[in-house]
Amino acid sequence: MTDNTPQISIVIPLYNEEESLRELADWIQKVMRENDFTYEIIFVDDGSTDKSWEVIGSLSSKSKEIKGIKFKRNYGKSAALQVGFTDASGKVVITMDADLQDSPDEIPALYKMITEDGYDLVSGWKKKRYDPLSKTIPTKLFNAATRKMSGIKLNDFNCGLKAYRGNVVHAIEVYGEMHRYIPVIAKEAGFGKIGERVVQHRERKYGVTKFGLNRFINGFLDLLSIFFVGKFGKKPMHFFGTLGVIAFFIGFVILIELSIEKIFFNVGGIAERPLFFLGMLATIIGTQLFVTGFLAELVSRNSATRNNYLIEEKISL
């Protein structure tokens, strides 16, 4: 039986990039032909209001390798990537932006790092950037914080040009603003061989950047979510219960101490001291945290995904 699985799936999320799509598609196809790759190009139109979808339709009618998916409205890059990942069938999946700032000439080297060097994921590093300071400074801060929290030694987590082993994209879920944390999500899923390659960053040729400072703030909150869910998603009682027991114990010790002073040393005004209120507050917060952990544990135990685990290999008789 002939294996019709393409070697490479190229997933391209886009929003209002009608000027660049034809040039990008021609460039990708040129690289694919030169390297004799079998491939598919999946354009995911994130609710564009220009003629992007018409251009994609025209390109698809001329080439069977070009596919298109269009959202009814704008959902964001993470949603576009997730839908593209679901539809991708290639042994290696490459993601890139549609604004021509990512070079398709980098694809063969990224493909080699996955297929020959054994990486699960390779992230591009735009060492020399052509973005304004309003984008590069927040990006540097974001990369430093993510590097510190995740332990993944990447210089550019948010580079749109990435390569994945096919099973990686089908084992992870991307939503919110979490596309910038895909290496972290992949690591949490068990794909630990993550590499980096310096790639060319080109000046924007058409249109305007879609970057906003609010994405940086939302992205940091998503980073906290990833770490919490990744570490405590299946055992929330370990987090809330531990904090609850510590807080309750502190409050209990304070109240016992104050009670001893009142009973045995006849110290007056106990109920008016700040320490009394601190003890009461710690006891109440501790109880609430413990109950929160208990309820979260009940929700987790009844979740449809409570026993979803990623199996790498299986030997059966």
Per-residue pLDDT tens for 259-313?
998 888 888 888 889 999 999 999 999 999 999 988 887 886 676 655 454 555 5
Per-residue pLDDT tens for 20-44?
999 999 999 999 999 999 999 999 9
Give the residue from 141, 172, 133, 171 showing the smallest Cα distance to 157.
141
Compute the mean pLDDT over every residue in the chain, rounded to the nearest whole number. 86
d(CA 62, CA 59): 5
Which residues are within 8 A (CB) of 182 and not within 5 positions of it... i.e. 6 or more apart?
81, 121, 162, 172, 174
Give the residue from 158, 155, 188 showing the smallest Cα distance to 173.
188
C-alpha distance from residue 164 to each of 96, 196, 270 (Å): 12, 12, 63
Q: Where residue 175 falls among pLDDT bands split at 50, 70, 90?
A: confident
Please state the rounded mean pLDDT for residues 139-147.
80
| Gyration radius of the chain over CA positions | 26
Pairing status of strand 92-95 against strand 162-165: antiparallel
Q: Which long-range contacts (CB under 8 A, 24 or more apart) does 66-69 make?
A: 66/25, 66/40, 66/41, 67/40, 67/41, 67/42, 67/43, 68/42, 68/43, 68/44, 69/42, 69/43, 69/44, 69/45
What pTM value is reported for the model? 0.74
Whether 251 and 280 have beta carbons less than 8 Å apart is answered as yes
Residue 53 has what pLDDT?
95
Whether 145 and 158 have beta carbons less than 8 Å apart is answered as no
Whether 10 and 28 have beta carbons less than 8 Å apart is answered as yes
Please state the rounded mean pLDDT for residues 172-188.
86
> Does pLDDT of 56 surpass 70?
yes
> Does pLDDT of 7 surpass 80?
yes
Residue 219 has what pLDDT?
66
C-alpha distance from residue 136 to each of 87, 126, 129, 194 (Å): 32, 11, 8, 23
Please state the rounded mean pLDDT for residues 117-123.
96
> Does pLDDT of 251 surpass 80?
yes
d(CA 122, CA 312): 19
> Does pLDDT of 2 surpass 60?
no
Please state the rounded mean pLDDT for residues 156-184.
90
Q: Residue 125 carries which DSSP code?
A: E
**More confident of the two residues 316 and 187:** 187
3-state class (DSSP) for residue 309 = coil
> Does pLDDT of 1 surpass 50?
no
Q: What are the structural domain ranges in the chain?
A: 8-232, 236-301
Which range has the worst mean pLDDT, 8-17, 70-79, 250-259, 300-309? 300-309
Domain 8-232: state its class.
alpha beta
CA angle 66, 209, 175 (to 5 degrees): 65
